């Protein structure tokens, strides 16, 4: 018999339980991607801390992004792996609250942080002579703190409201993670106020940062077109290309995921999109930022103890 106390007992995360063969494949694939995500993002944070050449605004914000990716994957993938491996598909009420809080926080922080990184690229391309004067350490700290506090504040508001919705004993969540839309779907009460508030908060958390990103890259594009030399254009493009790819991955996944209707087919698509968002994207981000980044390569080679002449070759 189900308990009437909505704040006790376990939830059942259905996840991919209707596809037993897929579960084993996902377990192996997730293990590989999780290892790469943790290793890649931890490496970026470590290198940004120990190498003086990486003590710049761009790498400071990149370290924050890597920390966010670590929080995101660690709050969801270990629980998913446990559920994929064994017959138990449960998560405790506290565990579900932690996942929901982490998802809402990290999602909001990343939206704002990506807009801050776009502004950083705008200053680097459009005002290169004043870059270090404008993007001074105090401003970088304030911008990063604003992103973190805004995302956490959003989660502090929305997490209790979502978990307090009456569920009438329903504990079977058709997802592999305690995500807000999935929890709202098992509610047996009117959720319009909570959904309306979430939509309202999405304006400053999602829409305004996206607008700022588009405006920043509009100015960057105009500045690049005014550069007459091909080498200058290529350098300006390389300065922003990594961030543009990350922004495209992040927002295209989020927009597609939350614009889906609530039928079963779209819910299944939502699971794979969420898996892509919380595992594949955090795995790709370190490679996107470091693959063509000579400073990051040089810092890694220095830590590995390679010859200094090789570092100099890489750095030019």
pLDDT average, residue stretch 294-310: 72
For residue 86, give the DSSP letter. S
Read off the pLDDT band of 85 (50, 70, 90). Answer: confident
Element (H, E) at 184: helix 180-185
Length of the chain (residues): 316
Read off the pLDDT band of 307 (50, 70, 90). Answer: very low
- Alpha-carbon distance 208 to 77, whole Å? 30
Predicted pLDDT of residue 109: 96
Query: Of 53-62, 223-232, 298-307, which range is least confident?
Result: 298-307
Backbone angles phi, psi at 13, to 5 degrees: -95, 105
pLDDT average, residue stretch 225-251: 81
Tell me the per-residue pLDDT of 39-48, one tens digit each, with 9 for 90 and over.
999 999 999 9
pTM of the model: 0.88
% of residues, the chain, pLDDT over 90: 53
Predicted pLDDT of residue 266: 61
Give burial (CB, 10 Å; 0-12/13-18/19+) of 2: exposed
Q: Using alpha carbons only, what angle is made at residue 9 by residues 22 and 171, rounded to the nearest 5 degrees?
A: 50
pLDDT average, residue stretch 177-189: 91
Reply yes or no on whether the pLDDT at 102 is more than 80: yes
- Alpha-carbon distance 257 to 237, whole Å? 29
Reply yes or no on whether the pLDDT at 205 is more than 80: yes
CA 271, chain centre distance (Å): 16
Predicted pLDDT of residue 265: 44
Predicted pLDDT of residue 259: 57
Read off the pLDDT band of 52 (50, 70, 90). Answer: confident
Share the mean pLDDT of the chain. Answer: 86
Element (H, E) at 118: helix 93-126
Reply yes or no on whether the pLDDT at 184 is more than 60: yes
Instruction: Tell me how far apart the terminal alpha carbons of the chain are, to the nearest angstrom.
Output: 69
């Amino acid at each position: 018999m189900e308990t009437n106390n909505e704040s006790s007992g376990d939830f059942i995360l259905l996840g991919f339980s209707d596809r037993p063969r897929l579960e084993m494949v996902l377990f192996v694939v997730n293990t590989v991607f999780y290892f790469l995500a943790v290793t890649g993002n931890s490496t970026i944070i470590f290198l940004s801390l120990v190498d003086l050449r990486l003590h710049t605004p761009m790498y400071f914000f990149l370290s924050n992004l890597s920390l966010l990716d670590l929080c995101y994957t660690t709050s969801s993938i270990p629980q998913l792996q446990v559920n994929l491996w064994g017959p138990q598909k449960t998560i405790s009420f506290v565990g579900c609250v932690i996942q929901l809080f982490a998802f809402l926080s990290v999602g909001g922080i990343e939206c704002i942080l990506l807009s801050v990184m776009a502004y950083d690229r705008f200053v680097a391309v459009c005002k290169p002579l004043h870059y270090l004067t404008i993007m001074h350490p105090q401003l970088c700290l304030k911008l990063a703190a604003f992103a973190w506090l805004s995302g956490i504040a959003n989660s502090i508001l929305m997490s209790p409201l979502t978990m307090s919705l009456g569920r009438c004993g329903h504990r079977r969540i058709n997802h592999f993670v305690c995500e807000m839309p999935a929890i709202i779907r098992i509610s047996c009460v009117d959720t319009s106020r909570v959904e309306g508030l979430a939509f309202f908060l999405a304006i400053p958390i999602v829409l305004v940062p996206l607008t700022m990103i588009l405006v920043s890259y509009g100015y960057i594009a105009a500045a690049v077109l005014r550069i007459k030399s091909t080498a200058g254009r290529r350098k300006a493009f390389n300065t922003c290309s990594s961030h543009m790819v990350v922004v495209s991955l992040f927002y295209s996944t989020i927009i597609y995921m939350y614009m889906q209707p609530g039928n079963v087919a779209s819910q299944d698509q939502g699971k794979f999109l969420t898996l892509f968002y919380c595992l594949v994207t955090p795995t790709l981000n370190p490679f996107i930022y470091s693959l063509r980044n000579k400073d990051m390569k040089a810092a890694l080679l220095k830590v590995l103890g390679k010859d200094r002449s090789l570092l100099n070759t890489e750095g030019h």
